[in-house]
Amino acid sequence: MRQINICVLDDYQAVAGQCAKWDQLGNSVNVHFFNEYIAQTDLVEQLKQYDVIVAMRERTRFPGTLLRQLTNLRLLVTTGSRNKSIDVTTCRELGIVVCGTRSDPLLAAEHTWAMIMALFKRVAPNDADLRSGRWQPALSLSMKGSILGLIGLGKLGQRMARFGQAFDMEVISWSPNLTAERCAPFGVQYVQKQELLGRADVVSVHMVLSESTRHIVAEKDLQHMRKSAYLVNTSRGGLVDESALCDALREKRLAGAALDVFDIEPLPADSPVLHVPNLLLSPHVGYVTWQNYQLYYGDAVEAIKQWLAGTPVRMLEG
């Protein structure tokens, strides 16, 4: 039997091998883990030998032009149940099976809340101050009585509303298709976009990125926010005008911001974002936990086993 070549992409933490029982696949497979990001221009050369590719969410794009050059590829597994970076239609044309995995869809809310608390409580500045010999140089803020503004009230937005309410915050929300009736069951007040930006002490973005939502927080929107307010984005980089946000922070038109997502990922070493004041950063890790990775990669192994047996599971239709 011919050896089946499998690769696991973007295993940045080098933990994919520990998060699932890859040896269940037997001796007829060869699994290679890529721990470094592969540039789009190098993908054909790096991946052309593989029959099976396991992709981590949307870290690597698989457009039709790339897929047509990966002539050995027969199975593409993505972690999660959807992946807009994969041209599923072309996969279907080429006979490439595309399968997904289960995941915890609400993990990003945990990370978002951690970032909001870090902003209100000056976690990073307090650490830096103390290490520099400064003892209690500034005040933090109470969350109780503050206003949490949610752009988007889907499943993640609803979880965020619960977090805010647990801390006695007032929660308001807006999105293009949101209504007061849809907000009411969650104890959230519906407001217009400009009112949300003008009232909120912290604005958190929870939208799906599309052409209609790109830069849903643009330069003109930032101008409506108060100088004492914070902005947090853990959804997708393109939802916020990154350049305009950096300008607002440099000019002290906002008290601070937190980003887990960026226009270009991985974030380049020379990115201007790295030198902006009052900006808390994390490297797109809202979904990165041991438990979620065990679910991702455990299901990936199952998907490969079932495909080898001729009974693929969790197939993506588009």
Q: Which residues of the chain have pLDDT under 70?
A: 1, 318
What distance in Å separates the CA atoms of residue 259 and residue 246, rounded to the nearest whole number?
A: 11
- In a domain, residue 314? The reply is no
> Is-catalytic flag, 275?
no
What distance in Å separates the CA atoms of residue 193 and residue 243, rounded to the nearest whole number?
A: 21
What distance in Å separates the CA atoms of residue 199 and residue 140, rounded to the nearest whole number?
A: 19
- Report the 3 state secondary structure along the chain: CCCEEEEECCCCCCCHHHCCCHHHHCCCEEEEECCCCCCHHHHHHHHCCCCEEEECCCCCCECHHHHCCCCCCCEEEECCCCCCCECHHHHHHHCCEEECCCCCCCHHHHHHHHHHHHHHCCHHHHHHHHHCCCCCCCCCCCCCCCEEEEECCCHHHHHHHHHHHHCCCEEEEECCCCCHHHHHHHCCEECCHHHHHHHCCEEEECCCCCCCCCCCECHHHHCCCCCCCEEEECCCHHHECHHHHHHHHHCCCCCEEEECCCCCCCCCCCCHHHHCCCEEECCCCCCCCHHHHHHHHHHHHHHHHHHHCCCCCCECCC
Q: How many CB atoms lie within 10 A of CB 124?
A: 16
| Sequence letter at residue 89 | T
Q: What is the CATH number of the domain that holds 67?
A: 3.40.50.720
Q: Are residues 93 and 159 in the same domain?
A: no
Find out whether 37 and 57 touch, Cβ atoms under 8 Å: no
- In a domain, residue 315? The reply is no
Q: Are residues 248 and 116 in the same domain?
A: yes
Selected catalytic residue, list 110, 170, 195, 265: 265
pLDDT at 1: 58
pLDDT at 2: 78
Q: Are residues 39 and 138 in the same domain?
A: no
Q: Are residues 81 and 120 in the same domain?
A: no
Q: Are residues 206 and 145 in the same domain?
A: yes
Domain containing residue 33:
4-104+289-308
Q: Are residues 230 and 243 in the same domain?
A: yes
Selected catalytic residue, list 284, 302, 314, 317: 284
Count of domains forming the chain: 2
- In a domain, residue 183? The reply is yes
pLDDT at 317: 82
Q: Are residues 30 and 127 in the same domain?
A: no
Q: Are residues 140 and 223 in the same domain?
A: yes
> Is-catalytic flag, 59?
no
Q: Are residues 270 and 156 in the same domain?
A: yes
Q: Are residues 240 and 210 in the same domain?
A: yes
- In a domain, residue 263? The reply is yes
- Give the pLDDT confidence of 41-76 residue by residue, as tens digits: 999 999 999 999 999 999 999 999 999 999 999 999
> Is-catalytic flag, 236?
yes
Of 245, 251, 253, the residue nearest 215 (C-alpha): 245
pTM: 0.94
Selected catalytic residue, list 236, 242, 250, 302: 236
pLDDT at 310: 96
Query: What is each CA distance from 117 to 128, 229, 299, in whole angstroms?
Result: 17, 13, 33
Pairing of strands 279-281, 256-259: parallel
